[in-house]
Every structure is written in structure tokens, then in C-alpha cells.
Amino acid sequence: MLRQFIHQSCLLGALVALSTSQSLWAQSEGLSQSVKQAMPAFSSLYLDLHQHPELSYHEKRSGERMAAEFEALGIEVTQDFGGHGVVGIYRNGEGPTVMIRADTDALPIVEETGKDYASKVTTIDAQGNSVGVMHACGHDVHMTNLVGTAQQLIKQKDQWQGTLMLVAQPAEEVGGGAKAMLKQGLFSQFPTPDHILGLHVSASVPAGKVAIAPGYALANVDSVDIRVKGRGGHGAYPHTTVDPVVLTARIVLALQTIVSREVSPLAPNVITVGSIHGGSKHNIIGNEVKLQLTLRSYDPKVREQQIAAIKRLTQGIAISAGLTEAEWPEVYVHQEESIPSTYNDPAQTARVRASIAKQLGEDNVWEASPVMAGEDFGLYGLTPAKRPITLFWLGAVPVADYDASQASGASLPSLHSSKFAPDYPATIETGVQAMSRAALDLFNHE
């Protein structure tokens, strides 16, 4: 009798497992087919967004288009939040709140992809210069993915319960959009999310695949200005001056000792001097030189160490040159542009990875390494209290181009390149499937 009971229990367990497996397969197939059917509309939306890019803080049309797409799906919409940001809320019974974010701004770049749908937009920037405008960082894909995911989740609303929160965020490229939305009350005027998701196109992963890294995924980023002071004079009489160009040369070299000799070699960090401006003529020793730096790290303590060391080293070099305290270099950190590292919550990210692999297949989900690029997405996981976030990379490189690059060793056009041209149909189809499946499983995890 006991043997018969065990046999029946095992058989029942096997049948339940088989039924569950078949159900999961059917869900994946159903989502895949649904996304394929919607691709003409998604492609049309992408092309419209790509051909009408807008710079940071000027995303009025993009915000209006996102709001219109949300409203057409029956989503509660709030416009002009934190600038030209849009927040969409869709309530589907009791359950967790899952927030999905996409960024909306473009870059001051003249597109050189040669595509027949290439952006031809020009505008006047803040400095009064005429510049081209291009979605060279894939935010047009991100917006399309947000709308596509919303459509799929609402279409399959009988498979989940909770609140879907959609955030179309402006001004990511200048590090101001997330701050503005949070400052206006994103998590007080709207439901506080239990899970926060985002994606970013990748210029090094082929279309059809995604890549994901648990833990640190993107870096702390700080923009720092240094004004190096001196005592100018004639180039023929340098002994009567304190040459700020020479001081600057010493500073540039000393900065790298912070990376190589002060911060632990086990703590990745970068200090890059991106700009030096000083002097006016061959035989004139000027009074000052201006430097512009970018600082990168993962650990917040390393960021603080970098900034403190820069102030100490620059002051020390000035003192060694005989300058008074009033003549010490001025170090200015652009706090309004500073963004924290993006830390993918390990537990949530493991669930997201498993969900995407279930939808796309294990071979199509790659392990990603942390990068030193920055993203203000990380702020949503820190303000006002810590909450789990996950951002994954969405492959965008045409497969033929990727294979050719791997074979030849030639570089691919990077993000922010005038020649960055994603395989948008494959990228969007993959992204909508991946994000929809991840959100569905998070809604049902609680």
C-alpha cells in the first residue's frame, strides 16, 4: 500500500511538473506571438521618435507622444512631471507595484548612419550654436519598449495583479531628470514601487540577446572643474612668475597617483582630464588654467576619497610653488550633475534573469560585466529609501555587423556615436518580450 501511494504521488508530481512546464511554454509562446503581431505599430512609433529627437530639458513632443500612447491604453497619465516627464499608472487589483522607466532625451549629434529614416533635426543649443540632434544612445528604443511592454501587460492583465507604474524620464544625458522627478514627489504623489526595472540598449551585444549583471552595473559619475591659479608675466622671464601651465602639468600627472597609489587596486576607479584651457599667446605666461575632469567609481566611499584627494593634491602643489592660500586651485564639483552608481539588487536581478531566460532561451541571456558609464537610474533605488532596482542591457547590434566585428577585431560604433544604428525591429521585439516577462513574474512573485 505504501509503495503504491509513493508511486501515485510521484506520478502526480510528474504530471503537475509537466503541466507547469507546458503552461510556462504556452505563456512564453503567447507573449512572443503577441509581440510579433504588434511589431508594425512598434516600428512606426520608433521611427517617429527617432526622426523627432529632442535635447535634454526640451523633450516636449516626446513627452506628449508618450502620454498619448499611455492614454490610448487606458492608463492614468500625469504630464510635465519633473520637466517634460510623464508618469503612467495602471491599477489592476491588489498586488505589488512594479515601476518601469525609460529615458526620453537625445544628444547634440549630427546623424551619419546613412539610413533613410535618419534624423535631420537641428536646433540651437544653450550656447547659441546650431547643432544636429540624434537619438545616439537608444532612448527612442527605450521609449518604444516602455509603450510596448505596457501594451502587452494590459493585454494580459488576467495573468497578474498589482499596479503598473510607467515613468518616461527626461534629461538623463545631463544627470538631471531622475533628480527632478524625485524632487517633485515621484514616490509620494504616486505609489511607492516594490520593484523597479529599466533597460539600456547595448552597442556591443547583438540584437536578439540581453546581458545582465548583478550588483554594481554602472558607475558613480562626477564632473569636476579645477581652476589653477598662477602669477603671469613675460615668457622670457619665467623666474618672475608662477606658471599655471607648469602647475597644471604637475596636477594632471599627480591625479593619476590617486588611482594607482591611493585607492585600493581592488576598487575600480577612473580620473580623466577631458579638457585643459589656458594661455593666450606664445610668449605670455598667463594667470590661470582651467581643467575639466570626469570621476568614475562604484563604491560611494571611493568617490569621496577621489574628491578629497584631488583637493589635497592640488593644494599641495600650489603650496610647493609658493602660492598663498588665496591662490590655491579652486576645485568645484558639479553636484547637480553627479549621479550614483547603479546597483542591481542581487535577489531581484536573479529573478529577472531567470524570467528573461525563460522567455528568450538561456543562450540569449549573457552575463554582463560592470561598466564605468553612468546612468541616473540608480537614484530610484536610493531615494528616499533603498528599494530593489534592476537594469539590463538590450542587444542592439545587427547580427551580421557583430559577427564581422568578432572575426576582424574591428570596433563597432559605440553609444553616442553619429553612426550608431541599432537593428531596431529585432531589438524592440526582444526588449518588449524580456521586459514584459520580467514584470509579469515580479507581479506574481509576491
CA angle in degrees (0–180, nearest 5) for 410-411-416: 160
From the candidates 54, 111, 140, 172, give the one annotated as an active-site residue: 172
What is the DSSP code (8-state) at residue 383?
A: S
Task: Confirm whether 105 is a catalytic residue.
Answer: yes
β 85-92/76-81 pair status: antiparallel
How far out from the chain centre does Cα 170 lie?
A: 12
Contact 295, 273 (CB under 8 A): no
Q: How far is Cα 253 from Cα 208, in angstroms, rounded to an integer?
A: 44
Contact 61, 45 (CB under 8 A): no
Nearest CA among 58, 271, 269 for reference residue 177? 58
From the candidates 59, 105, 140, 288, give the one annotated as an active-site residue: 105
Nearest CA among 113, 206, 201 for reference residue 403? 206
DSSP states of 87-118: EEEEEESSS-EEEEEEE--BBS----S--TT-
Backbone φ and ψ for 230, nearest 5 degrees, come out as -150, -165
What residues have CB less than 8 Å from 106, skipping those under 6 apart? Answer: 53, 54, 55, 119, 133, 134, 135, 136, 137, 139, 140, 173
Nearest CA among 362, 395, 28, 405 for reference residue 211? 395
Task: Confirm whether 172 is a catalytic residue.
Answer: yes
Contact 445, 161 (CB under 8 A): no
Residue type, 417: S
Contact 122, 133 (CB under 8 A): yes
299 vs 211, 238, 269, 342, 343, CA distance in Å?
Answer: 22, 43, 9, 10, 10
Which residues carry out catalysis? 105, 172
